[in-house]
Structure 1
């Protein structure tokens, strides 16, 4: 006898409840969850704590969201709606892709907790905002001249770079925020320890010395842009190389 099929554990794999309490909608739950995550981080998020903020019991939340995993899917898709992807234009595909990368970076830095939950999001790619943004970004690479399959690979490459860079950056900024100092003062307070640690590493030491008088925020932005530009340089060679015989 065949085993009974189990439901797919994703909010995107089941119908949205037809009736919602006027005072407690799924949209309101998601909005409050994002505020909680932004101010207190992932450790503070539970159905009980969220219910308390909403003035409702956890049981009331379960009428709209089956569990915390579904809630994470919903909040991730909601903030992906903040990402701006320009319309496809063959004449400015590099500029449009760069704008998209910057918008994605800005979104992650506004919501630094997202980097830590992406691995928990089961069917995130089925979320309406993420699907819409993916479609628009694919159109950018398609307009550049990539075939559909390579456009998909190019998009995934760019997103992987942005998420990787901003995950590290967001973690660093979280530590900075907990210190209660601005970035310049924080780095200045660490200078003696840093210089001591770099004594036996001349190349690293020279690089850090050259950066001491520069705006650290600008350095982070330039590092991000450098990576985006090198990725696009590499992708552009795919468009200009002669066809195989």
Structure 2
């Protein structure tokens, strides 16, 4: 079946080609090398030609596994989701702790691979990947076992994941900019602070907020911001669970 004949062009909807002989290059090798390239040089550096050079492989060897760059991105995104620790659904009373642990693992994976936030909206049918499906199935189990209906569990999972992606997107953009600048988080913040203070001068609440944050450890502040926001989300879900 060609890509044009597929109802939805995706690596997950195209049958894997069967080869009689053992291929010189595996899909796993392609995905692993693409992930290394993305982590080292970012999404703009990814091309099938550059990947082939890294693999010392011709186009034919690669295209027998991946039809195009879009399929490659689907595979690599799912590979990142495979790094996320699945929540433990063993104790329904600890649903918050299980969800919190998984949310932190998701955020950590995104910050290890900051390029991913720029392709989530372009990753085609990446949500059909086995690693992403395992993650969502595990989270649905946690919420359903805790007393949510399946429909409510679906809403809860989407809310938590959306929060994590939203925060991680901002963090990944910030950390990517820092890496390009060659400065540490604290150095950049201290250089920026005078301009920030001048910008908030007409706004009393922002002015007080910025004054209270002056001199904070920025990495620790980002952790606190994430924990506080996640707690707000889970508090809301707890209220809905109790009402149900």
Q: Identify the TM-score tier after normalising by the shorter chain.
A: over 0.9
Range with bigger deviation, 54-63 or 181-190: 54-63
1:13 maps to 13
Q: For 1:71-95, what per-residue CA distance to the aligned partner results, in whole angstroms no more than 9, with x for missing partners?
A: 0000000110001122202121100
TM-score, scaled relative to structure 1: 0.93
Q: Distance in 2 between matches of 1:227 and 1:202?
A: 23
Q: Distance in 2 between matches of 1:184 and 1:177?
A: 13
Does the CA-based 8 Å contact 2:24-2:61 persist in structure 1? no
Q: Distance in 2 between matches of 1:199 and 1:227?
A: 26
Q: CA deviation at 1:199?
A: 1.8
Q: Distance in 2 between matches of 1:187 and 1:21?
A: 54
Q: CA deviation at 1:21?
A: 5.1
Length, aligned pairs only: 238
1:86 maps to 87
Does the CA-based 8 Å contact 2:96-2:234 persist in structure 1? yes
Q: How does 1:57-96 map to 2 (within 5 A)?
A: 57-88=58-89, 89-96=91-98
Range with bigger deviation, 52-61 or 37-46: 52-61
2:175 maps to 173
Q: How does 1:152-191 map to 2 (within 5 A)?
A: 152-191=154-193
Task: From 227, 236, 241, give the equivalent of 2:238.
Answer: 236
Does the CA-based 8 Å contact 2:114-2:172 persist in structure 1? yes
TM-score, scaled relative to structure 2: 0.94
Alignment RMSD (CA, Å) = 1.4
Q: Unmatched 5+ residue regions in structure 2?
A: none
| Runs ≥4 residues deviating over 6 A | none
